[in-house]
Chain A
Amino acid sequence: MIPEIGHYALILALCVAVVQGSLPIYGAAVGNSALMAVAKPAARGQFLLVLLAFCCLGYAFAEKDFSVLYVAATSNSQLPLQYRLAAIWGAHEGSLLLWMFILSIWMVAVSFFSTHLPEAMRARILGVMGLVSVGFLLFMLTVSNPFERLIPAALDGRDLNPLLQDPGMVIHPPMLYMGYVGFSVAFAFAIAALLGGNLDAAWARWSRPWTTVAWCFLTVGVAMGSGWAYYELGWGGWWFWDPVENASFMPWLAGTALMHSLAVTDKRGGFKAWSVLLAIMAFSLSLLGTFLVRSGVLTSVHAFATDPKRGLFILVFLAVVIGGSLVLYAWRAPRVGLGGGFAIISREGMLLANNVLLIAALGSVLLGTLYPLFLDALDLGKISVGPPYFDTVFLPLMTPAIFLMGIGPLAQWKQASLPALAIRLRWAFGVSLVTAVAVPWLMGQWTPLISLGLLLAFWILATILVDLRERLLQAEGGSIGGRVVALPHAYWGMVLAHCGVAVFILGVTMVKGFEVERDVRMNVGETATLGGYSFRFDGTQQVNGPNYVAARGTFHVSRDGHEVTMMYPEKRRYFVQNQTMTEAAISPGLLRDLYVSLGEPIEGGAWSVRLYHKPFIDWIWGGCLVMALGGVLAVSDRRYRLAWRRKEAAVPAATQMARPTVS
């Protein structure tokens, strides 16, 4: 009965979505406020219905209702409750329900935080989001219904993929989807603006916090996915340029470009058409990501569900949504105008260059991801594009982008002087260059790539210090503390996010440059050394988990005779799918991770063992977290809170533009 209620709630949600996607947009076109007013209650009603459906599916999992096909396929009676609940998004149908649920959360958020928007704008935004949700609800109800019954019921379920039975996997998909789907808000703003023909600085100012919040979630989501691959796949890597990873990285690149482009539209009224295009791209790539992962067009270590009928549906949906918005863009964007002019050497110019570089990087990732598909479609054979391609194209594109990232915040809007910039930054450049050459040399291993990585990271930090010093000297507020407070949150957010990039680059450079790994065969009692640490293998013992048995190894790790830690890597066999999983043991640290994973047992209690010493690897994810925190800080800026408190339509852009604030 409960699953039927969930199914029915989805059908009702579809009806509400159809209303939400049609009446308010029509009302905005003809100026009928009664029709426009439908948008808000419809969005909230839809949220409640999808919430109900979500709870019904959660209930079916909690109660082990194996008469529901999806529950029987992705859980098992031995699976602990937290993973049974996480199994809601453990496969295709439930992931879609999660996607839909998150879309409805964003819609409700828009309905609450949009009181300051003109009525027509709000109606169009919620209408566009309603149309997106029509597509997803139709998809679920036609070809991937999570509530489909299995009669007669299965005695027990086929269990959740053991790879996904992990705390990180419980929160990674919701985070990622909050980001993916969050770009639907920026997308809806852009389409609404195209429909209404009022693309002004106010539009950019309204879109900015939404875009930034979505970007923060996506940053954390991508980082968590990478962290999951690191500790769960047991290969010690953290990024594989796998199609599914690329699918989440491409919207991130587009979103990053969009945030910066919106800053220009907000402050200077420029880049309007470009911002709209980026907003469309960011969401389109989120949809494309779903298509690639869910249709089985590309093979990947993560491709969990493949079904050609579903692929066809998503492709048609993709064609309608993206194709439709790009046609709308081609039709309306020429009227938008280009905004104010600017010199090449100016903050606009640098942000534009950065945008172009980000989009070029995005294009090369997209090309690399789809290239095997292109060749296959043209019958030129099957190939796979691997990390060598991506590393080769990515580094040359990102190097100038990072360089500009240091200069951009110091340059004036409209027109900046190159010699003046050079003088302001000569110390920053000198210091970062010397450090970048000296540090690896002192560490005893110098390669050009290590130095380049360090140079970029130190360059970011040094330029931030220069910028900070100049601004604090100029700021009003007397004491240092007062001056720090006087600078807007948006500025501190940018500083923090850019520091995050530096931390990230440091992590990547150190790991790539200095990591050590060893594959050894270890007898019980034998010791192996790596990176100054001694690992003594004390044999394995059998451990029983709730739904698996494991051979758990014990390693004593010591350094210079002092015991550092004990490590317990496991080789688990999950009963239901009879699948073996490598559970690596990781001893994390600020300056290094130790990583031990069990390979295969060899006779006499000996095992093949992989040992890694990974310096600074946690900085990779730490950097992402710092970036996301920067985003959060930027969103907490006073001007957005003021905008939300203000009930009447926002102030004309010109009065805001007169304030000499920072992006």
Chain B
Amino acid sequence: MFKLKHHQYGYLFVAPFIIGFLVFGLYPVVNTIVLSFTDRTLMSSSYSFTGLRNFQLLFADKTFITAIKNTWQLWLMNFIPQMGIAFLLSIWFTNNRLKLRGVGVWRMIFYMPNLMMASAVAALFFSLFSFYGPVNQFLVRAGFLPEAIDFLRKPAVARGLVVFIQWWMWFGQTTILLMAAMTAISPSLYEAALVDGAGTIQMFLRITLPLIKPVLVYVLVTSLVGGMQMFDIPYLLTDGRGSPSNSILTNTINMYMKFHSSKGHIGAASAVGLVVFLMTSIVALLIFFLLREKHDQPAKAKR
């Protein structure tokens, strides 16, 4: 072996990560891209390159378009209320004037749903809302409904449940992140603003919001990535095929269905993966661009 010079040890130390990334990160991505141009199935050893055929089929396929629409809808519908509640809670919890007690306890309670297994949560809601389940029993016996409703066969109910579960599982996490960002802001800024006669809203818009922007970008992007890959709850809540009426069919369920069909069409599944990857990347970059730190740019004379 050759002898390493002092300043080259760094390469040795980062090697494990780089190797891990290349094998488990880059290789699968490259392989997915290659696969998406083939008609490869798992049940046959031969395959050929088919160019853009997988993508042509995808965009001609109503189910794929439905899945993309659903994924965006389900994500936006849970992300917007999630941010709203998280903002409200973190402002209350970090407010120096309110001085709420038991913040730690509340924070823990709100975070709790996130610790539960998605499969357990889905199974819970599934049995609660099934045709012979307790929700129907309660509503009929209390006289709210004339007869039982098959809730999970109603697209609006299924969608609402997915949105609610996603919101309920993740708002605690977002609250904690926002709180961490808000507590890091020096109180002297608020004191100064107060002295200058700023109101609560003004302080929020002019001090809090700009200073937590990096965390906001982080929350947005991670939630976007997670949302575009939403799988477990909608997969487990009904039949694993996005029923009723494809209302909770997400991109990843669609991809899994292609992979899992009797032949295992990994070529076609990779094409879905690639489109979702491109879509997520573009939107994530857009978020970075829109929320970029303005003062990083070539300075313009401000005054």
Chains A and B come from one and the same complex: no
Q: Which A residues contact B (CB, under 8 angstroms)? A: none
Q: Which B residues contact A (CB, under 8 angstroms)? A: none
